Amino acid sequence: MTDTPLSVSASSGGYLVHARPGVLDEVGAIVGSLTVGGAVAVVSDLTVRDLYAERVEGSLAGANLRVASLSVDPGERSKSWETAGRVLEWMSEAGIGRDDAVVALGGGVVGDLAGFCAATYMRGLMVAQVPTTLLAQVDSAIGGKTAVDLAGGKNLAGAFWPPAVVVADPECLATLPDTEWRSGLAEVVKSAVLDSDEAVRMLEADAPALAERRSDAVARAVRMAAGHKARVVSDDEREGGSRESLNYGHTLGHAIERVAGYGTVSHGIAVAEGIRFAASLAERLIGSDREWTARQDALLTACGLPRSGCALDPGRVIEAMRADKKSRGGQVRLVLSSAPGMWEVRAVDDATLADAVDAWCRPQEDGRRS
Ligand SMILES: NC(=O)c1ccc[n+]([C@@H]2O[C@H](COP(=O)([O-])OP(=O)(O)OC[C@H]3O[C@@H](n4cnc5c(N)ncnc54)[C@H](O)[C@@H]3O)[C@@H](O)[C@H]2O)c1
């Protein structure tokens, strides 16, 4: 496997994604080579701080950078306007200047929060994303979307603020709790489906090793999926076209999370259900093969993402799908895949949607879905 950094093109001039085992100890050298200021503000959460801050801060200090650090509570609740205000005030008190840098050390919550603060502090400061969850390494840290949540919904206040660099060490994933691991794995499967037959085959071969989090398989999966995201956002930085594909499995996935109640069904299981749903709808709407549906289902199961079997009210699921920010004029739009590496976006008419959601919500006798 190659260790060459992946590259992303962006209006900011582009950046590299260093995705390889052990690269966490090189954060200092990498950030030091990019910043002209002498200080870095490391933003993390309390869990990640205990696990990795010492190594990262040691590496930054070793590159002669003055380190100031702040950790927020773990979890989505920290992705708030209030926490962003606290981080910004702290940066000012810590004497962070316009030539200095922010290091976002953590999962997607820390990446979105610290990225948003970097975008606004002194009208924009360099940010290095150092993702420590699988979801963040293959998805949220790449692409420059930053945000905090408002009372009215997730990610309602945000900015496109591409990182100066992404440093993703797959070895950090060994300490991830199982639910967080699975959340990321659903994104990895999605990436392979959208990417190519080669990526799907690689994941099929690696699935048993991934279920045990074997380091070689984990590193391959991170590179494959991070590479896919890097290519997509290079092609479509502001989500005017191909970036929409990354929503594969998420329209139903988000609806499940919302209707079941956040935290009841994990993000990974919900997205996996969304992928299965989109796969079977693709047979009906774009004539994809039944084998392709079965292959996606088997891959998800082999990766430890079994069918959820949760019973939800079809009407509420449809309502939640219509409320998805990607739907237009109340009409649900779904990303559908006809074959590995092939996808298209389809508006789904009400009758077809009702029929498909109804079938999905009706558990079969063996606990499986139709
Ligand atoms: N910006 C984007 O493009 C984008 C894309 C997808 C998702 N997101 C956002 O990402 C967020 C979800 O991110 P997430 O799934 O990484 O969740 P998260 O950041 O909340 O991390 C999940 C949990 O894992 C812990 N953790 C992190 N790294 C760890 C490690 N190595 N070992 C042990 N524990 C660790 C954290 O403390 C936290 O409790 C959401 O807010 C979502 O909106 C953003």
Percent of the chain whose pLDDT exceeds 90: 85
Is 267 labeled as catalytic in the residue annotation? Answer: yes
18 is catalytic: no
- Residue identifier of the C-alpha nearest atom 12 of ligand 1: 108
Among protein residues, the one whose CA lies closest to atom 19 of ligand 1: 107
**Residue 366: is its pLDDT beyond 60?**
no
Q: DSSP string covering 253-315, please? A: HHHHHHHH-BTTB-HHHHHHHHHHHHHHHHHHHH---HHHHHHHHHHHHHTT---------HH
Count of residues for the chain? 370
- What distance in Å separates the CA atoms of residue 227 and residue 315, rounded to the nearest whole number? 38
Dihedral of alpha carbons 148, 154, 159, 165, sign: positive
Q: Is the dihedral of CA 309, 315, 316, 321 positive or negative?
A: positive
Q: Indicate the Cα dihedral angle 192, 195, 198, 199, nearest 10°.
A: -30
CB 319 within 8 A of CB 325: no
Could you give the dihedral angle defined by the CA atoms of residues 308, 314, 317 and 318, in that order, rounded to the nearest 10 degrees? 140
pLDDT at 326 over 80: no
Ligand 1 test: best mutation among 50, 139, 140, 267, most atoms within 8 Å of CB?
A: 140
pTM of the model: 0.95
Residues 43/117, Cβ–Cβ less than 8 Å: yes
Q: Which residues of 321-360 are buried (b: 16+ CB within 10 A; e: fewer)?
A: bbebebbeeeebbbbbbbbbbbbeebebeeeebeebbeeb
Distance CA 265, CA 363 (A): 16
- Is there a catalytic annotation at residue 254? yes
The pLDDT of 59-70, averaged and rounded, is 98
Q: Tell me how far apart the alpha carbons of residues 239 and 235 are, in angstroms, rounded to a whole number.
A: 9
Mean pLDDT (whole number) for 12-34: 97
- Ligand 1 pocket at CB < 6 A: 45, 47-48, 51, 74-76, 79, 106-110, 112, 132-133, 135-136, 139-140, 143, 145, 154-155, 172, 175-176, 180, 183
For the residues 213-235, what does the mean pLDDT come to?
A: 96
Q: Which pLDDT belongs to residue 66? A: 98
Reported as a pLDDT band with limits 50, 70 and 90, residue 72 is very high
Tell which phi-psi region holds residue 213, choosing left (phi > 0), alpha (psi between -120 and 50) or beta.
Answer: left
pLDDT of residue 330: 74
pLDDT of residue 91: 98
Listed in sequence order, the residues at least 6 apart from 207 whose beta carbon sits closer than 8 Å to its beta carbon are: 299, 302, 303
Assign 363 a pLDDT band (cuts: 50, 70, 90): low
Q: Which one from 228, 247, 257, 276 is the annotated catalytic residue?
A: 247
User: Could you tell me which of 229, 192, 219, 159 has the C-alpha nearest to residue 7?
Assistant: 229
* Interval between CA 70 and ligand 1 midpoint (Å): 17
Alpha carbons 184 and 22: distance in angstroms, whole number: 20
Backbone angles phi, psi at 169, to 5 degrees: -100, 110
What type of residue is 216?
D
CA distances from 106 to 22, 56, 123 (A): 16, 11, 23
Write the residue with the smallest CA distance to atom 10 of ligand 1: 108
User: What ranges in the chain are assigned the alpha helix state H?
Assistant: 27-32, 46-48, 54-62, 81-93, 108-120, 134-135, 178-195, 197-211, 215-235, 250-260, 267-286, 290-302, 314-322, 350-361
Structure confidence by residue, pLDDT tens digits, 95-147: 999 999 999 999 999 999 999 999 999 999 999 999 999 999 999 999 999 99
Give the pairing type, strands 126-131 and 101-106. Answer: parallel
Q: Which pLDDT does position 370 carry in this prediction? A: 43
How far does Cα 251 stand from its chain's mean position? 15
Distance CA 254, CA 270 (A): 7
Annotated active-site residue 243? The verdict is yes
Is residue 310 scored above 80 in pLDDT? no
- Nearest Cα neighbor of 134 from 111, 114, 108, 161 is 108
Ligand 1, atom 21, lies closest to the CA of 107
Judged by DSSP in three states, 125 sits in coil
Q: Residue 247 catalytic?
A: yes
For residue 79, indicate whether it is catalytic: no
Pocket test for ligand 1, best of 133, 239, 243 (most atoms within 8 A of CB): 133
Q: Does residue 145 carry a catalytic annotation?
A: yes
Ligand 1 midpoint to CA 288 (Å): 33
Phi then psi for 18, rounded to 5 degrees? -90, 105
